[in-house]
A and B are shown apart, each in its own frame.
Chain A
């Protein structure tokens, strides 16, 4: 491997790679490719344009772009300019958008043309990626402890919070993947995740850049054409969501299933019952990793050791991981509690939540980062993830804040109150369910309510199940007892959006 030995500063790595690996292809896609030198050159041009717009080092620049070459140029242009990158999910609109773009105090908002109508509120700072080109400028030097990006992650009791990563913490995240996956410069990633997600950015793009390999940006996922795409890209590894493993495994067997060039894939929530069979059939290793936006990967199997079934591997060396009870006392092996972590190195994890010191302090109580996830350590120190303690949902790889779903639903004039919670999805992870109480004298039509949600919420947050109830179960102190609702599950009187044939349109 062409080792990188400089400061842990993202733009410095790109500069180093461009100088030393110059003509090597870094990105391929159906829309074209980029060498390391080309990406650095394009980034320098974007940085020149940002400078012309008055963007100073440390200023926030938000982006809402589909994955593709333009995305990479803009992202690394922001990094090259020493600005702070704020990626926005392309499904966001309305107040979700407002919360991130205004909340991060972005000085510019780079949005793909087809999404401009949603961003009109930010007209004054709105820019088309195609317009971001100027004479290239020199890289703006940054320190390892300078802020690199703010990644908003779904809250649990509140709004989405902006997770702040400095250069060093972001690169601990990226560098960890090299060890977890045993990446070398010969490896080719097959990237299916949207680039506004931390996993695509760290595990796929940045880790590959550090290692000197190549990334293929895949087109939309199709179970039937997946392996053809992998082979055409000469890919050696990919990242997955649980449902991908399920869908691929459900495809009819082919004699050349194992002849695909892929040696390893990582992800979370693969159906445990089929993992062995999947590995055998497709001739590759599956690696289940536990992590979060704040921590990056926190535990993983020790490459090249085989995974220990039912576990998420061992804590990575740059983090300390324990399981605590409600009073923050460490629990013995085998006992479930909350997974907590501490950095074992400087800047080994996110430095906090943007503009939310109070929320940061709550998460940092007793100088442990409280993940909100439930689990335990087994006798050998492997991490076993059991569930999310906090009131969040995860659907097809997206974290969803029940708080934000509830806020959206409650804006409906006929809704008195509502609770959003997770019910198990057929394949993997969760589906969103809401229990709704109508205002007195009003009737709620679940179908119409879903229609309302489609207008109010990002598409992946739109509930699948609606249950009408007379009252929500509550504690004496008037807290909603969601565990009761979860225990009831999908009742016979529950409205199912999919069974009703309601499709949430792509915006």
Chain B
């Protein structure tokens, strides 16, 4: 168990010193050892410093899972540079907005994505200028010593009534999440953790890679999840635990049963949501204990079950570093069993979001009455266990990705033929949601759903492109002209065009 300073540079230095040649991350055709990670992280740190970046400056990272993404992540922190991970699906205005909002001074990017960068900052292209910069860089420490409360990362999370917000987290917050996950999962030395979640989200970074460093384990990482290959990989790689989201469990569960379903070393899995409909059947069939939690980018894990004690359908009890309550609209605590907003506040310093970067008003709104308001609806039972019900805020969640209806609407509204649009989430058969766009055309204009989606593909991440489109004469509105989305939700998919049904494929 790692007991050194709670900073990202310190923990990789420790691994490089103590077990230099042991694999830390095993990719499909590559292995990253502790020594390699530390050396290359220092190269990244020195290369960025040579570019003129200073401690506290921000640098974007737009990469798929691979050794570069891990080296660059830790490397920036070795120079005190704050990492800004960007979803590789982003493009256009949204990408520009994020780079500008986070004040990124440089970006490290996958070669084929480089042309999407429309901001005038140094672009380090993996396989090209990035490699050259690293090759030329020194491998000594930069001299910067990070403090645990220093920001390590700004992660964008989709806004609900406005643009995406950059969540500022400290090294300490990263560690507290990692410690909590390691505790509730009972991770021990030599644990082998599988993830196919992207490194531009909190999950893979702080609940897989960091725990492996923390307990002295290893990571098996893939760029993409494959339901058909999953158990083979686990067997071949000796995986002992993995992270899930609802769709992942559903996809595994839908695979035809095989005699070898329990023939592996996997004993436990961490994530959310764990669909009640298949929970016990899944555990029984695969011999895996599911540990469901509730969390967010801002908080990390706020409540959790543990590998020893859990209740199906519940997301567990508050993490030791948090107080969790259910509040009504006036912030009064509601009685057990009553639904309300899940509100959280820290019992320790620097364990959660410091602020939404350069959005103090939005931060204060979320912090009102000195509670963090999650925007999620839930309830607590008489035993103090928590249950996630749904999102109160107008955000959509599809296969683990948060989608801002506001941002999708803004993109659709930009089409010449469109008068206005409303975007909502509709239940998905894979848990979570799919995107439905309800569109009103300008008088005298025509538009096919395919043409609309072509337009969308140019402007938004592939996962945000609506699956369902419905054209309407008008949108339901209240007297103050706000769109009444609850009425659209009640109507659901009635009369909606389904791109899956029509064989329309969205390019990644």
Contact = CB atoms under 8 A, between A and B. Distances in A.
Interface of A: 144-145, 324, 327-329, 342-343, 346-348, 351-352, 357-358, 360-361, 364-369
Given A346-B332, A366-B346, A367-B345, 18 more contacts: A324-B349, A328-B349, A329-B348, A342-B370, A346-B331, A347-B331, A357-B361, A357-B363, A357-B364, A358-B360, A361-B355, A361-B360, A361-B363, A361-B364, A367-B346, A367-B367, A367-B370, A368-B370
Q: Chain B contact residues: over half helix, strand or loop, or mixed?
A: mixed
Given A357-B363, A361-B364, A364-B364, A343 B350 contact: no
A352 B349 CA distance: 20
A366 B332 contact: no
A53 B363 CA distance: 36
Contacts of A367: 345-346, 367, 370-372
B400 to A, nearest CB: 28
Closest 4 CB pairs of A and B: A328-B349, A357-B360, A346-B331, A367-B370
Interface size class of B (residues with CB under 8 A): 20 to 34
A352 B371 contact: no
A343 B354 CA distance: 19
Interface string B206-229: 000000000000000000000000
Contacts of A342: 345, 370
A133 B348 CA distance: 54
A365 B363 CA distance: 11
A167 to B, nearest CB: 12
Nearest to B360: A357
Interface in B319-367: 327, 330-332, 345-346, 348-350, 354-355, 360-361, 363-364, 367
A144 B330 contact: yes
Nearest to A341: B370
Contacts of B371: 367
B368 interface: yes
B274 to A, nearest CB: 29
A71 B382 CA distance: 52
A145 B369 CA distance: 11
A364 B370 contact: yes
A367 to B, nearest CB: 5
Contacts of A365: 354
B168 to A, nearest CB: 11
Most chain B beta-carbon neighbours within 10 Å: one of A342, A346, A348: A346
B149 interface: yes
A300 B120 CA distance: 58
14 contacts: A145-B330, A327-B350, A328-B350, A346-B330, A346-B332, A347-B369, A357-B364, A361-B364, A364-B367, A365-B354, A366-B346, A367-B346, A367-B371, A369-B370
Interface string B415-449: 00000000000000000000000000000000000
B42 to A, nearest CB: 28
Contact of A366 (B349, B363, B369): B349
Contacts of B332: 346
Most chain A beta-carbon neighbours within 10 Å: one of B332, B360, B370: B370
A317 to B, nearest CB: 15
A328 B367 CA distance: 17
A147 to B, nearest CB: 13
A348 B331 CA distance: 11
A264 B372 CA distance: 40
Contacts of A327: 149, 349-350
A324 B349 CA distance: 10
A365 B327 CA distance: 21
Contact of A352 (B149, B350, B364, B372): B364
A319 B73 CA distance: 41
Contacts of A328: 349-350
Nearest to B348: A329
Interface string B264-283: 00000000000000000000
A328 B369 CA distance: 19
Nearest to A359: B360
Contacts of A347: 331, 369
A266 B369 CA distance: 28
Most chain A beta-carbon neighbours within 10 Å: one of B149, B327, B354, B364: B364
Interface in B355-404: 355, 360-361, 363-364, 367-372
Contacts of B361: 357
A292 to B, nearest CB: 15
Contacts of A346: 327, 330-332, 369
Given A327-B149, A346-B332, A367-B370, A360 B346 contact: no
B206 to A, nearest CB: 19
A369 B345 CA distance: 13
Contacts of B345: 342, 367
Nearest to B361: A357
A477 B502 CA distance: 67
A352 B369 CA distance: 10
